[in-house]
């Protein structure tokens, strides 16, 4: 996962969403069904640019006009995934999920955030539609109706927040992922978005193997070749590359330097 800078909210967005927000506020008071007309889809290109055409969760490149405008906090309902790893679902080669067990389903989600710019990110359809769906893990006991999100501590990492993924995720030389130092946020992000799915591990393999090979070379190379190896790592960690977040995590967890150190070095 890579951290991004959220695009600025267009001036017309709040105007275009004002009416439907008021309608849902009225429906809540009157105990009526909520409706969420898609007012966010036309702004997807803002996030495609901000995220360098990559999924905010898995970092795979999103081609063409594919990808979803994902609600970080689900708007319509919230589900809870079982704590039993055997019930997190079986991941097939085509990314379908079977035997994924939800222990709870809350009929009301974060409806008041459906049209909040800060609740959006670009996601691939596998992460959003096949895995995350309406999951949103938090560290506290969940209320029936999540009315006070400021009293909740999300366990799902957000690519537009300040929490550095290097503290929560870890990769091995074949691209497999696990929580770093038993991080709860790392674990919940992996199982919520299916970041351990076989097709994704396979997609990460080539990059992960390349970085591990370069890191090993750093320990044995002569001074003349040191900068060349560092630059190979730096290039793979460019924000425009798939799995750049993984590259940065591997660099920081396997050296005594931060990615910012490396950026400053090549400036």
pLDDT of 94 reads 62
pLDDT number for residue 146: 57
Instruction: Give, for 123, the enclosing helix (H) or strand (E).
Output: strand 120-123
Q: For the range 215-218, what are the long-range contacts, defined as Cβ-Cβ under 8 Å and sequence gap of 24 or more?
A: 215/250, 215/251, 215/254, 215/255, 218/255
| Predicted pLDDT at 116 | 96
The pLDDT value given to residue 42: 93
Task: Establish if 254 belongs to a structural domain.
Answer: no
> Does 204 reside within a domain?
no
Q: What is the pLDDT of residues 135-145, one digit of tens each?
A: 999 998 877 66
In a domain, 72, yes or no: yes
Q: Is residue 147 one of the residues assigned to a domain?
A: yes
Computed over every residue of the chain, the mean pLDDT equals 91
Which residues have a Cβ under 8 Å from the Cβ of 204 and sit 6 or more positions away?
Answer: 171, 175, 177, 243, 246
What domain count does the chain have? 1
- pLDDT value at residue 83: 87
Q: Within a domain: residue 250?
A: no
Q: Is residue 253 part of a domain?
A: no
Q: Which residues of the chain have pLDDT under 50?
A: none
Residue 41 lies in a domain: yes
Domain with 32 in it: 11-199
pLDDT for the residue numbered 93: 62
Structure tokens at 219: 């320990």
DSSP 59: -
**Do the domain assignments include residue 27?**
yes
């Amino acid at each position: 996962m890579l951290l991004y800078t959220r695009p600025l909210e267009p001036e017309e967005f709040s105007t275009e969403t004002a009416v439907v927000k008021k309608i849902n506020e009225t429906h809540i008071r009157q105990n009526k069904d909520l409706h969420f007309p898609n007012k966010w889809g036309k702004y997807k290109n803002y996030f495609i640019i901000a995220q360098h055409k990559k999924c905010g969760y898995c970092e795979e490149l999103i081609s063409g006009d594919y990808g979803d405008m994902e609600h970080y906090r689900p708007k319509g309902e919230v589900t809870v995934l079982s704590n039993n790893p055997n019930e997190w679902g079986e991941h097939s080669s085509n990314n379908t999920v079977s035997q994924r067990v939800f222990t709870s389903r809350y009929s009301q989600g974060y409806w008041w955030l459906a049209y909040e710019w800060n609740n959006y990110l670009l996601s691939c359809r596998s992460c959003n539609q096949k895995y995350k769906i309406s999951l949103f893990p938090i560290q506290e006991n969940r209320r029936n109706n999540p009315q006070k999100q400021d009293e909740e501590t999300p366990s799902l990492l957000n690519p537009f927040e300040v929490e550095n993924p290097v503290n929560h995720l870890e990769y091995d030389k074949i691209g497999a992922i696990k929580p770093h130092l038993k991080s709860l946020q790392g674990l919940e992000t992996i199982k919520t978005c299916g970041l351990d799915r076989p097709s994704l591990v396979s997609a990460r393999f080539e990059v992960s193997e390349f970085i591990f090979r370069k890191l090993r070379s750093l320990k044995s190379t002569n001074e003349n070749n040191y900068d060349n190896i560092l630059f190979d790592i730096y290039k793979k960690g460019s924000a425009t590359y798939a799995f750049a977040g993984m590259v940065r995590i591997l660099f920081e967890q396997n050296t005594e330097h931060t990615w910012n150190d490396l950026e400053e070095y090549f400036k």
